A and B are shown apart, each in its own frame.
Chain A
Amino acid sequence: FPPDFQPIACKPLFFDVALSLADYPSLEDKLDQKKQGGGISSFVKGWLWGGGKK
């Protein structure tokens, strides 16, 4: 005593790549809806107020 040191296999590095792949979906089309869905009211608004803003 004390006993001799003995080598053991070390635990290799292992990455959780799947976590990096657990990403949010694209929201691009959801952000565009304002332009698509605005329709006539946004046209009227643009006509009424659009001149004021540059």
Chain B
Amino acid sequence: MAQQQQTAAVTALYVDLQRAINNGDHEKALKVSSKLFGDNPADDRAFHCKIVSFIQLGKFDDALLTMKKNQELATALPFEKAYCEYRLNRTAEALRTLRNLENPDTRCQELLAQVLYRLEEHRESLSVYRSLMKNTQDDYEEERETNMSAVQAAIQTFSEEPEEDL
């Protein structure tokens, strides 16, 4: 019975969490996911939500600290870790985090392209974007094209030999 009460309470909190997410209320999402994760430190979903809440609130230091304290759970969130490093201008660390992945998913590749752009590794960034354009279908095609143009422009500006056809 105690088990069932707990399950119902947890479910109720998840309902609250989903509502907060739907409303874009990241403060509330952080609060609820922290409560869930505090009650059950094995709850990887609550952990994931807590980290995303931190990111959405711009609290990248807090996100990294929480991941550092829970390294085992954090290994499942390399994208989030690298993104926080990227936003804290620890760009080399972000690159290392992303390079360590054997099979980076498209989110990690997207971030890798941005990291490479910031590191002025324009040609490699462009090649990551090219493969992304081929392999993704989402709502960010235009933004991706804009980013690709920026990379292309950087290549034209900083290198002697211009890149051939876009």
CB within 8 Å of B: which residues of A? 9, 12-25, 27, 30-31, 33-34, 37-39, 41
27 interchain pairs (CB within 8 A)?
Answer: A12-B150, A13-B146, A14-B117, A15-B146, A17-B110, A18-B79, A18-B83, A18-B107, A18-B111, A19-B55, A19-B83, A20-B140, A20-B143, A21-B107, A22-B79, A22-B83, A23-B52, A24-B48, A24-B52, A25-B45, A27-B14, A30-B11, A31-B15, A33-B7, A34-B11, A37-B11, A39-B4
Let me know if A31 and B114 touch, CB within 8 A: no
B114 surroundings in chain A (CB, below 8 A): 14, 16-18
User: Which interface class (under 10, 10 to 19, 20 to 34, 35 or more) fits B?
Assistant: 35 or more
Report how far A14 CA is from B147 CA in the complex, Å.
5
Report how far A39 CA is from B102 CA in the complex, Å.
42
Count A/B pairs, Cβ under 8 Å. 88
Report how far A14 CA is from B14 CA in the complex, Å.
36
Interface assignment of B64: CB less than 8 Å from any CB of chain A? no
Report how far A22 CA is from B107 CA in the complex, Å.
8
Let me know if B55 and A17 touch, CB within 8 A: no
Closest chain A residue, CB of each to CB of B44: A25
A9 surroundings in chain B (CB, below 8 A): 153, 157
B56 surroundings in chain A (CB, below 8 A): 22
Report how far A30 CA is from B15 CA in the complex, Å.
8
Let me know if A37 and B143 touch, CB within 8 A: no
B48 surroundings in chain A (CB, below 8 A): 24-25
A41 surroundings in chain B (CB, below 8 A): 1, 4
Report how far A27 CA is from B29 CA in the complex, Å.
12
